[in-house]
Amino acid sequence: MGFPEKLDIPPSILHIAQTLDRAGFEAWCVGGTLRDTLLGQPHSDYDIATSATPDQVQRLFPRTVAVGVKYGTVGVLDQQRALHEVTTFRRDVLTDGRHAVVQYGVSLDEDLARRDFTINAIAYNPLRYEWRDPFRGAEDIAAGLVRAVGDPRQRFEEDFLRILRAIRFAARFDFAIDPPTWEAARAAAAGLRQLSAERVRDEWFKGLQTSRSVRRLVSMWIAAGVARVWLPELEADPRENLPEPPADIRDPVLLTALLIAEPSRALRRLKGSNAQIERARALEEGPTEPGAVDLTTVRRWMSQVGPSADDLTTLWRLRHGTEAPWAAAMTRIRQNKDPLTRSDLAISGSDLLALGVRGPDVGQTLTQLLNRVLEEPSLNNRDGLLALAREMS
Ligand code: ATP
Ligand code: MG
């Protein structure tokens, strides 16, 4: 595969490269964005690798942010206050499977050699229109292959997260994993225990969000031995008849709930946020669907499940491969703005107190009123509800 002669580089990136170049430093576009460009896929911002140290970068640009100075990364803000990452050429010394201590003062080729996969180890000089691809990543992109840079066993031992990254890229681009890389990943999988739950969660979520086929992602997590360590539920219950989720649904919490029977437990293990764990718990609790699709039954169900109605409806669609049968009723109920909670009622607790309802009975009366209104939304007006409340007391 040949390289395009010249890439269309955004002005802010060119400006950063020129500033570094004029000060006597090298500046290259690197990383995932080049890979995505060569794949003809939509891509995000170009990362820049430079021979300048983080200090020198911070001195050259008026506005910078210390994004990851420990690893040599400085964020440079452009005129529009957009942030671009500039990372010093580095070599990783003292890797322990989780962290690295980094050393500057190395060449571009050494910097490319510490990168994980050949497809991620390509560089392009935006001022000289020059390509650098010492590990023939462009050929692997053309062949659809994820291949470790250097000795795969050693590379996975240095950083076990790379096992998850290999699988994620394979599932995202529908690439194969080169057999020696795959064998080394499987052999190193026990080391995944050493990773922090947060890093594993980020990879699991990114994998779900970007995979072309979620089923393939899951089968690779199982086959590599990753699932056994972090999400054994995936193995226990392979859900063979599960339809492939449509491409427009990549919500990681929903997909976790689709794949795992007790998603809240799994998300707690992965140190998900409280909001994510709570969403998962609500999905477990249900009821997963209304007992019938008439408006009253659907309103009662929406009232009961509250904010998880949409999640439950999408989950049903994921499980069955077709739209939930009550989806149309739900849309109509929302269009009509039918009352669904006690606070949607046209009267409040203080109205009931004024009517002479005893304090301890107020809550129950409101619930009874809501029950009537869920059956018949047109009852939700002040006079009607006050009359009903009088009858009830
Ligand atoms: P994405 O589209 O997911 O952002 P990416 O390739 O840009 O993909 P990043 O995590 O943003 O991935 O990392 C940028 C680059 O840094 C990678 O392309 C790779 O060269 C290098 N890199 C990132 N993580 C690692 C790692 N764990 N080990 C070695 N190199 C890494
Ligand atoms: Mg990236």
Ligand 1 atom with the smallest distance to the CA of 47 is: 14
Average pLDDT value for residue range 220-231: 97
For tokens 């003062």, the residue is 105
Using omega within 30 degrees of 0 as the cis cutoff, is the peptide bond preceding 287 cis?
yes
Distance from the CA of 49 to the center of ligand 1, in angstroms?
Answer: 13
pLDDT tens digits, residue range 111-122? 999 999 999 999
Q: Is the pLDDT of residue 237 over 80?
A: no
The rounded distance, in Å, linking the Cα atoms of 206 and 268 is: 17
Cα 296 to Cα 330: distance, rounded to the nearest angstrom: 10
**CA 367 to each of CA 303, 305, 364, 383, 392: distance values in angstroms, whole numbers, following the listed order:** 11, 15, 5, 17, 12
- Going by CA atoms, what residue is nearest to atom 3 of ligand 1? 32
DSSP 119: G
Averaged pLDDT, 377-391: 95
User: Does 290 have pLDDT greater than 90?
Assistant: yes
Cα-to-centroid distance, 32 and ligand 1 (Å): 6
Q: What is the rounded average pLDDT of the residues 327-341?
A: 98
Q: How far is residue 243 from each of residues 114, 239, 320, 325, measured CA to CA in Å?
A: 39, 9, 7, 17
pLDDT in tens, 259-270: 999 999 999 999
- Contact at 8 Å (CB) between 155 and 147? no
What do you get for the CA distance between the two ends of the chain, in Å?
82
Residue 369 in contact with residue 363, Cβ under 8 Å?
A: no
Closest protein CA for atom 17 of ligand 1: 31
88: CA distance to ligand 1 center in Å? Answer: 15
Q: Using CA positions, which residue lies closest to atom 2 of ligand 1?
A: 32
pLDDT-derived band at 239 (thresholds 50, 70, 90) equals: low
**Alpha-carbon gap, residue 263 to 284, rounded angstroms:** 8
Angstrom distance (rounded) from CA 275 to CA 46: 32
- Tell me how long the chain is: 393
3-class DSSP state for residue 61?
Answer: coil
What distance in angstroms lies between residue 33's CA and the mean position of ligand 2's atoms?
A: 7
1-143: CATH superfamily: Beta Polymerase, domain 2 (3.30.460.10)
Q: In whole angstroms, give the CA distance from residue 119 to residue 148.
A: 9
Domain parsing of the chain, residue ranges: 1-143, 286-335, 342-392
Q: What is the pLDDT of residues 54-93, one digit of tens each?
A: 999 999 999 999 999 888 999 999 999 999 999 999 998 8
For ligand 1, residues with CB inside 6 Å are 31-32, 115-116, 120-121, 159, 161-162
User: How far does residue 100's CA lie from ligand 1's centre (Å)?
Assistant: 15
Instruction: Give the residue among 223, 35, 2 at the shortest CA–CA distance from 145.
Output: 35
The pLDDT-based confidence of 238 (bands split at 50, 70, 90) is low
Which atom of ligand 1 approaches the CA of 158 most closely?
28
Report whether 181 contacts 166 (CB < 8 A): yes
With the most atoms of ligand 1 within 8 angstroms of its CB, the residue from 39, 120, 122, 204 to mutate is 120
Ligand number, closest to the Cα atom of 41:
1
Residue closest to 36 by CA, chosen among 151, 166, 172: 172
Among protein residues, the one whose CA lies closest to atom 9 of ligand 1? 32
Mean pLDDT of all residues in the chain? Answer: 95
